[in-house]
Amino acid sequence: MSSEQHAPSAGEYITHHLQHLQKNFAFESKVQNSIVDFSLFNLDSLVFASVLGFLGVFLLWLGVRKATSGVPGRFQAAVEILFEMVDNQAKGVIDNPKSRAFVGPLALTVFVWIFLMNFMDMLPVDFLPHLWHSAGPALGFKDYLRVVPTADLSTTLGMSTFVLLLCIYYSIKIKGLGGWGHELIAAPFGDHWVLWPLNFLMQVIEFLAKTVSHGMRLFGNMYAGELVFMLIALMGGAFAMSVTGWSMAFGHVVAGTIWTLFHILVIVLQAFIFMMLTLIYIGQAHDHH
């Protein structure tokens, strides 16, 4: 049979690349069939997110360890510029110095971590999945692998949920349990017993909306970027299989170059937006209504 007969269609190619390496809590392979399924987890996202998280912390630690009072090197200068940028943003949003002592480094870590996870989208689409094509089944795993953790909704919503928990923690810490509880029923429409249920409902909706939009924004942009790279890869694949002429090869190179350059801005911007919203939401937890 010819190689064309063995090759997957465009739809099969994209479907395969969009499938996570999923396991249930008995570590058995499983495929998600519903929109929400808490009986399984995406092993590929967990592994890549964890490795990149440790890498980000290591790079920051390396920058601090090699810091000198003299003329800084390029790496130290880059870390100092990044630290100063995040610190200035934190000072502009959070007035409490004690809170900033934790939230500032947290925001810096979030920015670096998300940038590294987003940067995985810059790798060739089939590079790591192709390696896993042989290694995965040999190790007893399915032939699925997605390498961009932020293109996984469970990753981004998990991070935004952690930010929500921090907001609740600081709300109680700064205002006290009674003060925050009173705020839940007294804002935004006023402290009157008739308005208490409506105020509480609005507060719950606000918390949920901020958390969902926080995670969905990052996920949506990275998922779309990943999908565009797959479509561009299909252009090169069509040329390699001699299905089309040189125009497809030219389009593959041009589209790939333009989208890569544009996507560099996207991955940095999305990391910055997530970091800024983290600071803003925690800063709002310090405000009294």
Catalytic residue check, 118: no
What sign has the CA pseudo-torsion 9, 11, 14, 16?
Answer: negative
CA distance 104 to 108: 6
**Identified catalytic residue from 42, 154, 160, 221:** 221
Angle between helices 74-93 and 246-286 (to 10 degrees): 50
Tell me which DSSP letter residue 191 carries.
Answer: S
Tell me which DSSP letter residue 38 carries.
Answer: T
Catalytic residue check, 213: yes
**Identified catalytic residue from 24, 39, 50, 213:** 213
Token couple for 3: 């190689």
Token couple for 119: 């940067």
Residue pair 100/83 in contact (Cβ under 8 Å)? The answer is no
CA distance 230 to 159: 26
- Number of helices (H), then strands (E), in the chain: 9, 2
Q: Residue 81: phi, psi to the nearest 5?
A: -65, -45
Q: What is the CA radius of gyration of the chain?
A: 23
- For the annotated catalytic residues, the residue numbers are 213, 217, 221
